Amino acid sequence: MQVARNKVVTISYEVSEKGKGKLEDGTLDYLHGFKNLMPTLEKFLADKKEGFSGKVEMGPRDAFGEINPELVMQIPKTQLEKPEEIKAGMQIELESEEGIIPALVTGVGDNEISVDGNHPYAGKTIMFDVKVVKVRDASAEELAHGHAHGAHGHHH
């Protein structure tokens, strides 16, 4: 079977930073044609058959975004609920106009903390090594929800 709209596709992947090395790998199921993957990756996988493997390179804009300097911030400790519990390397949640964004604490000073709300892979040129493990028809329920259910997918 080949990858097409309304198919559930199992892929295995390795994400690396171009010229640097591996960032992570994994397996996932996704429903093709419903914007559940990065558009460039989804387009790359269209019409591929089970067993296909290939590499796709993506600049930051197509992958995890450019680094946004506005997300690198100093926050006064007076604005934090429990400043004594915050340590460098922790992941915290910031409230912004666009909702909650996860941010990494990059430093803790006497009166303020430094945080970086950029995605950890922001600004990187990413190589995806991807393999089409399995392709199957989506169930009516999956189509209604707009995402894959199952072993590596989404449960509810």
What residue ranges bind Zn ion (CB under 5 A)? 145
Which helix H or strand E contains 58, and what residues bound it? strand 53-58
Q: Which among 58, 25, 39, 42 has a CA at the least distance from the CA of 125?
A: 58
Quick one: 105 or 143, whose CB is closer to Zn ion?
A: 143
CB of 114 to Zn ion, least distance (A): 38
Task: Tell the smallest beta-carbon distance from residue 140 to Zn ion (Å).
Answer: 12
Cβ nearer to Zn ion, comparing 130 with 148: 148
C-beta of 131 vs 145, nearer to Zn ion = 145
Rounded to a whole number of angstroms, the minimum distance from the CB of residue 150 to Zn ion is 10
| SS3 at position 113 | strand
Q: By C-beta, is 136 or 145 nearer to Zn ion? A: 145
Nearest residue to Zn ion by CB is 145
Collapsed DSSP state (helix, strand, coil) of residue 114: strand
Shortest gap between Cβ of 64 and Zn ion (angstroms)?
A: 25
Nearest one of 39, 30, 33 to 63, comparing CA atoms: 39
- Give the CA angle between residues 40, 130, 116 to the nearest 5°: 65
